[in-house]
């Protein structure tokens, strides 16, 4: 037997507190959505909004605030200065959201500001990169598509894996592809298109009684929305590294949910006549609780080390993972499983339980 920090015969009533969990999730989601509405959407980084990155190396340690103060009089909108690498590297990343001026003008302005206000310190501009607004918009589009298709494929996999309804799942995918095409003809913004597609995915899972897929997809959307909302509240930028973090969160949360669902399905097939489905779910969550906690804690320890020691470049990436792993563990227990209980197992699983 493997190491267990919680005995498998523990009898914690997780389903009994589902309403409290739903209220807590709703409050966090509403706070995040409120922040997004007030701020006019996510705060896009250079990858998505366009702009320039200037990497500077200075021959002695310099405070980030000093560099930002030196560049204060330079007309560079959305100016952000970050330390890069280890403490002794003395390398700094200067970001600006402006893409209307040439790279040579930016280089000249940075040179003039640093040479006159760094008290004789020598510096070198090692890198200057520009991302145009068109490229940023294309990257934003591809990122949103990646998130949507990840959720769609997960819904198809869960439907086939747990309910043996591959044909229905394939038809659902075809219907979604057609719906996306139809909505796209209306000329709506891609962000609204993705929201509509995710809503259609949840609606189809409910209509087709793909209850395992419905629970899993709802939990994944829950995790992504909360992570995005908290980032908006904290004023963090969204760039390609954050999209990578969101896809990682989806994968982690799905893995956790599948473990719980697998045990629910096994216990439901073997359940006695006097056991309710809620009892089966509670038993299954308790039986997998030790593994869930050990996996989450060890993952969070590694991510926390990245957050503290990884440097400013991956700081936001690690922060997104910290939030997402914690929320993903929570959603597997308090979101996906209660939703499954609310709609009940599919007819296929019921037949297996009666066999």
**In the chain, which ranges are continuous DSSP H helix?**
18-38, 46-49, 64-70, 103-117, 133-163, 166-184, 190-207, 211-234, 240-269, 277-309, 315-331, 337-343, 347-354
Count of beta carbons in the 10 Å neighbourhood of residue 145: 15
The pLDDT of residue 353: 46
The winner for highest mean pLDDT among 92-96, 98-102, 259-263 is 259-263
- Among residues 133, 90, 127, 122, the alpha carbon closest in space to that of 107 is found at 127
The confidence score (pLDDT) of residue 80 equals: 77
The predicted structure's pLDDT at residue 1 = 45
Using the predicted structure, report yes or no on whether residue 3 has a pLDDT greater than 70: no
Is the per-residue pLDDT at 4 higher than 70?
no
**Beta carbons within 10 angstroms of residue 173's beta carbon:** 18
Confidence of residue 154 (pLDDT cuts 50, 70, 90): confident
Residues across the chain: 355
Domain(s) of CATH 3.30.70.100: residues in the chain: 51-131
pLDDT at 191: 63
pLDDT for 177 beyond 80: no
**Can you read off the two tokens belonging to residue 158?**
């869960």
d(CA 152, CA 201) in angstroms, rounded, equals 7
Q: How far apart are CA 66 and CA 61, in angstroms?
A: 11
Alpha carbon distance 322, 307 (integer Å): 8
Cβ atoms 114, 56 nearer than 8 A:
yes
| pLDDT tens digits, one per residue of 28-59 | 999 999 999 998 888 887 777 777 888 888 88
Most confident of 18-27, 202-211, 243-252: 18-27
Q: Does domain 15-44+135-354 have CATH number 1.20.1640.10?
A: yes
Confidence of residue 108 (pLDDT cuts 50, 70, 90): confident
Mean pLDDT of 237-252: 88
- Give every CB contact of residue 276 below 8 A, 6+ residues apart in sequence: none
Which carries the bigger pLDDT value, residue 237 or residue 34? 34
Strands 91-96 and 43-44, by their bridges, are unpaired
Q: Which has more pLDDT, 310 or 327?
A: 327
Single pTM value for the model: 0.82
Can you read off the two tokens belonging to residue 91?
């390398």
Range of lowest pLDDT (203-212, 260-269, 283-292):
203-212
Q: What percent of the chain shows pLDDT beyond 90?
A: 24
Does 352 or 221 have the greater pLDDT score? 221
Residue span(s) of the chain under CATH 1.20.1640.10 come to: 15-44+135-354
pLDDT of residue 354 exceeding 50: no
CATH, domain range 51-131: 3.30.70.100
* CA-based R_g, the chain, Å: 24
Structure tokens at 125: 């501009």
């Amino acid at each position: 037997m493997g190491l267990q920090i919680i005995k498998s015969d523990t009898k914690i009533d997780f389903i009994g507190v589902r309403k409290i969990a739903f209220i807590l999730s709703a409050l966090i989601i509403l706070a995040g959505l409120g922040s997004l509405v007030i701020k006019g959407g996510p705060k896009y980084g250079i990858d998505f909004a366009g702009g320039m990155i200037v990497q500077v190396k200075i021959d002695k340690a310099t405070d980030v605030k000093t560099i930002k103060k030196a560049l204060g009089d330079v007309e560079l909108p959305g100016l952000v200065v970050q330390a890069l690498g280890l403490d002794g590297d003395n390398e700094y990343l200067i970001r600006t959201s402006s893409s209307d001026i040439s790279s040579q003008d930016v280089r000249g302005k940075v040179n003039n500001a640093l040479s006159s206000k760094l008290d004789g310190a020598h510096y070198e501009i090692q890198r200057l990169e520009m991302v145009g607004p068109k490229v940023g918009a294309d990257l934003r589009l591809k990122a949103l598509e990646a998130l949507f298709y990840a959720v769609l494929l997960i819904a198809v996999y869960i439907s086939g894996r747990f309910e043996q309804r591959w044909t229905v799942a394939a038809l659902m995918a075809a219907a979604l592809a057609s719906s996306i095409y139809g909505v796209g003809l209306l000329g709506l913004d891609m962000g609204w298109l993705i929201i509509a597609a995710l809503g259609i995915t949840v609606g189809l899972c409910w209509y087709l009684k793909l209850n395992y897929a419905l629970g899993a997809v709802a939990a994944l959307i829950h995790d992504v929305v909360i992570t995005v909302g908290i980032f908006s509240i904290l004023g963090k930028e969204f760039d390609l590294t954050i999209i990578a973090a969101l896809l990682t969160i989806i994968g982690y949360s799905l893995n956790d949910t599948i473990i719980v669902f697998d045990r629910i399905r096994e216990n439901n097939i073997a359940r006695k006549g006097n056991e309710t489905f809620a009892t089966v779910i509670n038993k299954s969550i308790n039986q997998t609780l030790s593994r869930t906690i050990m996996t989450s804690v060890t993952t969070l320890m590694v991510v926390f080390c990245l957050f503290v020691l990884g440097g400013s470049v991956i700081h936001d990436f690690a922060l997104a993972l910290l939030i997402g792993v914690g929320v993903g563990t929570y959603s597997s227990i308090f979101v996906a499983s209660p939703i499954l209980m609310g709609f009940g197992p599919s007819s296929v699983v019921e037949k297996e339980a009666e066999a």
